[in-house]
Structure formats: structure tokens, C-alpha cells
């Protein structure tokens, strides 16, 4: 796929290939037993892809429900008309509980205190609470520590909440299978503390994208929470997940706004971290860290211009990045520079971008800023 003509007026934009979402969801669903519910993770503006459009497409592609980080994100989904179940993945502040109840959200309980605050909010509002209990089996972040989980289980049953699910989260599923197996084992053992009659009605989930690698249909797990994979990025290469061939959904482009020749010896950009060793033709590209190109990519990364790799010269600035186009004939103002994605025969992958930018794939996507226009391709390719 070449860079898009859809965004002819934009200076910097990401192109979102919505049909690629259909294909990715289809492949993930096919790899899972049919009874397993697909919770689509759309927090952080659907990993930078744009929540309303992507959520709508995910539903059309067959996901069962959504997960977001917080009440404000869930409210955005409700505002655009989604009445599907929405799971809040992070702890909810007492002050946010009334709104969470009013929006009919699935609230994740991470502590006894949070459950008590919810009981108080329910008593005050007269609304019904739908809850999942999150257990910390070795992530050290959200969730009730597993050794204290039984107490929370008992409270939830007694409180009369609608208990809908129980889950844990893996910390190292993309790199440490043994640690993940141990987290699973702790979680499975703990499930025995829930009466069978209650347990049989719960959504039981642990797996994020990387967890799918070791997902076992024989275990009681009946839901998965998928983020990265549905956006087309396997958590690790060479794995079963990579063999599903997820297709990147997002590509990132910007315009060349100035072309000029600089003499050898010129120092380029802030703090003069690069001095030109030869007479150099440079292109100034209308994209910088204000858009989502981190300064870590300075003097390390490349943009594709006219299908060729052009090295970033000097420091990435807020609004502009300078690239070397000496070896690329006839680059002109208005040309498209591709920061992520394909141009002609070449492609800059998220993995490559992350190596230059010293970040992880989730971060590369989520740090694309509001200023970058989102352009949605809806055609089937």
C-alpha cells in the first residue's frame, strides 16, 4: 500500500485501515474456541487509532464487548451510542462511582475498600452494580493481592452486586512463559474459593494478546482481553501469534514542507547534535514530538520519502523533523514522508520505530497526539 491520497490537505496524519481490523479480529476469533468471549481493549483512544470509529468497526467485526481504562473513556463510548458491555480495567475513584453506575458499566473491584465504596454508592443511587473482581497474581499493579482475594469474593457475594467476572493480568506473557504459567496457576487455585454455582456464571479471563500464546481451551477461561493484536501487532515475532499474520492497522505520514541545500559543516537542529559531513539536501517534514515522533529517534531513525529511507538529522523538534534527502532525487514540497508503514516497496514497522524511539509498541501508538489527523479507510482491500 502506498501512502494515502485520502489526506491531501493534512500536514501530518495517521491512516487507519478499518478493513484490516475485520481481518485481524477474524483471525484471532478463529484461533479461539467459539465459546470464548472477545473483550476488545479500546482504552487510550483505541491505542491511538481513534476510539469511536475503531470501536464501531470492532463490533461489526464480531467482538463481544469493550474494555477501557476509566469512566471518562467509557462515557465517550456511550456518547457515540455503544450500549455494549464496557469493562473498566483500572480502579475507580469513589467520586467516579455514581457515574459508572449511571452509565451501566462493568466495574472492576480491586480492593475491599473499593467494594465498600461501591456498596455505599449503590445504596445512595438505587442503581444496580455489575462487577468483575481483579486479582493480582504477580503483576504488582491493580487487583486485590491474591492472598487477600477470598475476603473480597465473600464481600461481593454478600453485597448483592451482579457478579459478572473474575480476572487477572499477566506481567510478562510476551517474554517469560514460566512466570505466566505460575500466575495462571495461582489464579486457577484461587478460583476454587468461589462456590461452583457462582463460578459457573462468571466471565473468567486472564489473557491479553501475549497471553493468547499459552491460552488453553481446557482451562475455565471463557474470555480474552485483546488489544495489541487486533491493531495488527503480534506481541512477539516467531510465535504462534505472529503466524496468525495480523495486519498493521495504522500508518503515519507527514508532508515535506521545505527542501533546501546546506553546506558541509552545518550543525543541524537544536543543540547541534549533528554536523553535516558533506553538502546535504535536507527536507523539513511537518512532524515532531508534538505529534508522536520521540526525540529518542533523533539521529537514529528514518522516514520513507519517495520510497527511500532518509535518515533523521539532528534532534526531532516539536513540529518539524529534518531528514537527509541528498540521495533521493527530486523530492519536493508536498511530498509524503512515511514515519510508520509502507511506501512503495519498503516499510517501517512499529518494531523498527520502537528500536529507534526507545519505546514499546503500545507506547508508540498511544503517544500519537490529537494534532495528528486520523483518516479512516473503509474500503475493502
Ligand X SMILES: Cc1ncc(COP(=O)(O)O)c(C=O)c1O
Nearer to ligand X, 115 or 228 (CB): 228
What's the closest the beta carbon of residue 303 comes to ligand X, in angstroms? Answer: 26
Q: How many residues does the chain have?
A: 381
Active site residue 134: no
Taking CB under 6 A as the binding criterion, the range among 75-83, 204-212, 252-260, 370-378 that sits at the site for ligand X is 204-212
Which one of residues 36, 61, 68, 89 is an interface residue with ligand X (CB under 6 A)? 89
Nearer to ligand X, 235 or 314 (CB): 235
Looking at residues 219 to 278 of the shown chain, list those that interact with ligand X (rule: CB under 6 A).
Answer: 225-229, 235
What's the closest the beta carbon of residue 346 comes to ligand X, in angstroms? Answer: 27
Nearer to ligand X, 20 or 89 (CB): 89
What's the closest the beta carbon of residue 167 comes to ligand X, in angstroms? Answer: 8
Residues 292-331: x where in contact with ligand X by CB under 6 A, - otherwise, as a string: ----------------------------------------
Nearer to ligand X, 50 or 227 (CB): 227
Q: Which of 124, 128, 260, 270 is catalytic?
A: 270
Looking at residues 64 to 83 of the shown chain, list those that interact with ligand X (rule: CB under 6 A).
Answer: none
* 208: contact with ligand X by CB under 6 A: yes
Q: How far is CA 30 from CA 23, 52, 241, 283, 289, in A?
A: 10, 25, 12, 45, 38
Nearer to ligand X, 229 or 357 (CB): 229
Burial of 73 (0-12, 13-18, 19+ CB in 10 A): buried
Q: How far is CA 311 from CA 277, 282, 305, 339, in A?
A: 14, 10, 10, 11
Looking at residues 142 to 181 of the shown chain, list those that interact with ligand X (rule: CB under 6 A).
Answer: 169
Looking at residues 27 to 46 of the shown chain, list those that interact with ligand X (rule: CB under 6 A).
Answer: 41
Taking CB under 6 A as the binding criterion, the range among 9-17, 75-83, 205-213, 335-343 that sits at the site for ligand X is 205-213
- Euclidean distance between CA atoms 50 and 69, whole angstroms: 15
What's the closest the beta carbon of residue 96 comes to ligand X, in angstroms? Answer: 18
* 209: contact with ligand X by CB under 6 A: yes
Helices 18-31 and 51-61: angle between axes, nearest 10 degrees = 40
Q: Which of 29, 38, 43, 134 is catalytic?
A: 43
Q: Measure the CA dihedral 178/242/136/205, to 10°.
A: -110
Q: How far is CA 247 from CA 10, 14, 112, 251, in A?
A: 24, 15, 42, 11
- Euclidean distance between CA atoms 331 and 283, whole angstroms: 8
The residue written with cell numbers 481481518 in the block is 23
Active site residue 43: yes
What's the closest the beta carbon of residue 46 comes to ligand X, in angstroms? Answer: 11
Per the rule left: phi > 0, alpha: psi between -120 and 50, beta: everything else, 54 is alpha
What's the closest the beta carbon of residue 279 comes to ligand X, in angstroms? Answer: 46
Radius of gyration of the chain, Cα coordinates, nearest whole angstrom: 24
Per the rule left: phi > 0, alpha: psi between -120 and 50, beta: everything else, 236 is beta
* 54: contact with ligand X by CB under 6 A: no
What's the closest the beta carbon of residue 142 comes to ligand X, in angstroms? Answer: 7
The residue written with cell numbers 467459539 in the block is 34
Q: How many residues bind ligand X, per CB under 6 A?
A: 13
- Euclidean distance between CA atoms 208 and 167, whole angstroms: 11
* Positions marked active-site: 43, 270
Q: Which residues are at the interface with ligand X (CB under 6 A)? A: 41, 89, 169, 208-210, 225-229, 235, 362
Amino acid at each position: 500500500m502506498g501512502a494515502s491520497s485520502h489526506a491531501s490537505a493534512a500536514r501530518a496524519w495517521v491512516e487507519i485501515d478499518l478493513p484490516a481490523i475485520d481481518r485481524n479480529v477474524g483471525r484471532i476469533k478463529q484461533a479461539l474456541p467459539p465459546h470464548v468471549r472477545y473483550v476488545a481493549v479500546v482504552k487510550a483512544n483505541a491505542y491511538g487509532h481513534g476510539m469511536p470509529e475503531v470501536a464501531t468497526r470492532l463490533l461489526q467485526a464480531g467482538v463481544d464487548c469493550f474494555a477501557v481504562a476509566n469512566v471518562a473513556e467509557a462515557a465517550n463510548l456511550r456518547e457515540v451510542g455503544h450500549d455494549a458491555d464496557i469493562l473498566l480495567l483500572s480502579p475507580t475513584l469513589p467520586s467516579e462511582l455514581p457515574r459508572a453506575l449511571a452509565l451501566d458499566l462493568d466495574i472492576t473491584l480491586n480492593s475491599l475498600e473499593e467494594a465498600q465504596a461501591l456498596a455505599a454508592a449503590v445504596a445512595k443511587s438505587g442503581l444496580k452494580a455489575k462487577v468483575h473482581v481483579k486479582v493480582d497474581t504477580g503483576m504488582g499493579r491493580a487487583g486485590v493481592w491474591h492472598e487477600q482475594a477470598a475476603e473480597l469474593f465473600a464481600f461481593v457475594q454478600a453485597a448483592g452486586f451482579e457478579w459478572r467476572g473474575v480476572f487477572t493480568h499477566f506481567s510478562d506473557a510476551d517474554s517469560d512463559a514460566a512466570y505466566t504459567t505460575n500466575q495462571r496457576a495461582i489464579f486457577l487455585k484461587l478460583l476454587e474459593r468461589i462456590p461452583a454455582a457462582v463460578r459457573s456464571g462468571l466471565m473468567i479471563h486472564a489473557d491479553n494478546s501475549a497471553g493468547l500464546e499459552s491460552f488453553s481451551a481446557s482451562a475455565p477461561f471463557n474470555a480474552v482481553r485483546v488489544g495489541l493484536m487486533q491493531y495488527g501487532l503480534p506481541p512477539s515475532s516467531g510465535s504462534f501469534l505472529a503466524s496468525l499474520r495480523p495486519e498493521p492497522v495504522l500508518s503515519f505520514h507527514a508532508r515535506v514542507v521545505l527542501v533546501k541545500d546546506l553546506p558541509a559543516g552545518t550543525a543541524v537542529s537544536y543543540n547541534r547534535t549533528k554536523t553535516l559531513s558533506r553538502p546535504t539536501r535536507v527536507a523539513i517534514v511537518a512532524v515532531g514530538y508534538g505529534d508522536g515522533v520521540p526525540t529518542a529517534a533523533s539521529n537514529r531513525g528514518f522516514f520513507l520519502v519517495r520510497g527511500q529511507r532518509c535518515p533523521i538529522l539532528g534532534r526531532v523538534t516539536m513540529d518539524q523533523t529534518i531528514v537527509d534527502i541528498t540521495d533521493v532525487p527530486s523530492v519536493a514540497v508536498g511530498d509524503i514522508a512515511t514515519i510508520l508503514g509502507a511506501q512503495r516497496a519498503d516499510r517501517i514497522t512499529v518494531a523498527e520505530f520502537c528500536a529507534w524511539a526507545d519505546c514499546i509498541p503500545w507506547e508508540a501508538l498511544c503517544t500519537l497526539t490529537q494534532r495528528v489527523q486520523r483518516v479512516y479507510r473503509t474500503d475493502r482491500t
